[in-house]
Amino acid sequence: MGTALRRPGSADRLDQRAAGKRRRDDAALRSELERLRNAHLYRARRVLDGPQGVRPVIDGRRVLSFCSNDYLGLAAHPALADALREGAGRYGVGSGAAHLITGHGQAHHRLEEDLAAFVGRPRALLFSTGYMANLGVISALCERGEALYADRLNHASLNDGALLAGVRLRRYPHADTAALERMRAGGDAAMLISDGVFSMDGDLAPVPDLASIAETAGARLLVDDAHGLGVIGRAGRGSLDFYRSRGWHDDGSVIVMGTLGKAFGTFGAFVAASEPVIETLIQRARSYIYTTALPPALAHATSAALTLAQREDWRREHLRGLIARLRAGAADLGLPLMASQTPIQPLLAGDAETALAWSRSLEDQGVLVTAIRPPTVPKGAARLRITLSAAHTEQDVDRLLELLRSLPGAGHEPAASAAGLPGPRRGGGA
């Protein structure tokens, strides 16, 4: 069953004050950091020297990387660099103000129009990040105390948006629409929220079923398609188009959030929806109103990226081939890849210590794959998050498979289920 957000009582407030005092004590912070290290949950940054790519220089060493979200290989594309320089020459560097003051320029406006047409919605609105976009949508469209239903494996920004909006957050089992309907039966619902492609699992949300439930409940549906746009659907139009191409009737009611720093290779985010929704966000979304607009040169470069991503369908075709090659090879080796047909291919390790050991073993041999641990994923579900890019070659995938074969404890008897379609600095990692 889902969990409802509970208002803190006096005992909770005392506990919070005590916790706050501990956080202001450096000795207590050092103790907590040491606890994280001992539990194999400590996070460390790496330093990238040069452009993003599949063979970046990380911490002074060139590696073969399978852990970026640069799915189409556009982050360092010369055409985007040229467009960024052109935009800076035309518009300058910084926007200098919020969108509602004097920061909203022609480059922003044109990109919003292009994005709206791309995803099939009347309007789009630019945000600085996907995190800010999700916070803005939920806080602007939901009232405090209303019920909001969320997939248990949603991105943290969706959960945080619900908590900050003060709604009654109820989380249903992953992709289980039958459970969602039982939880919602007879009750109110202001909004349903879900990833389109789940960032740590790589599977797709059942968007048509969620849209049907939202319609029956009189609720809005927000789909965070950060990892779907550019990658799936016709011309990379994302999760909704993936289902439209298979016969689903999209009536335009689903609110789409997309990011620009993954498949499109730049930075920023947007929300696409009906005219009234977008106008309401302009009036009420605090994460849109009270922040400086994206640099206009970046918006100019993103328009170029959007054109490139749509035109060069070979990138998605090549990516699909790499995904199939990896999954077939993993099945032959009996490796427990999770069910996914997207560039996100998680290899389950179980505990955090094993995931880290696998990641370090690969890194010792020049291949970088991030270990994902709690709280990013549930306890007992630590994994290697393998991500593929259109910039990878078949030889890159074969090299990865060769090294995965030797990971201690990774191999199992070949299992057909591992190849199914989607269903319901060193030592680092998420």
Do 269 and 302 touch, CB atoms closer than 8 A? no
6-31: burial string, b at 16+ Cβ within 10 Å, e else: eeeeeeeeeeeeeeeeeeeeeeeeee
Provide the residue type at 243 as one letter: Y
Do 424 and 340 touch, CB atoms closer than 8 A? no
- Catalytic one of 199, 287, 359, 389: 199
Q: Which residue numbers belong to the known binding site for substrate?
A: 43, 155, 376
Q: Which helix (H) or strand (E) holds 329?
A: helix 314-333
- Beta-strand ranges (E) seen in 128-173 are 147-151, 168-172
- Whether 199 is catalytic is yes
- Whether 227 is catalytic is yes
- Please tell me the distance from the alpha carbon of residue 253 to that of residue 232, in angstroms, as a whole number: 20
Residue in 369, 378, 374, 379 with CA at minimum distance from that of residue 407 = 369
Residue in 291, 340, 310 with CA at minimum distance from that of residue 94 = 291
- Whether 21 is catalytic is no
Q: Which residue numbers belong to the known binding site for pyridoxal 5'-phosphate?
A: 130-131, 199, 227, 259
- Catalytic one of 99, 104, 174, 227: 227
- Catalytic one of 262, 300, 318, 392: 262
Q: What is the DSSP letter of 233?
A: S
258-283: burial string, b at 16+ Cβ within 10 Å, e else: bbbbbbbbbbbbbbbbeeebbeebbe
Q: Which residue numbers belong to the known binding site?
A: 43, 130-131, 155, 199, 227, 259, 376
- The catalytic site residues sit at 199, 227, 262
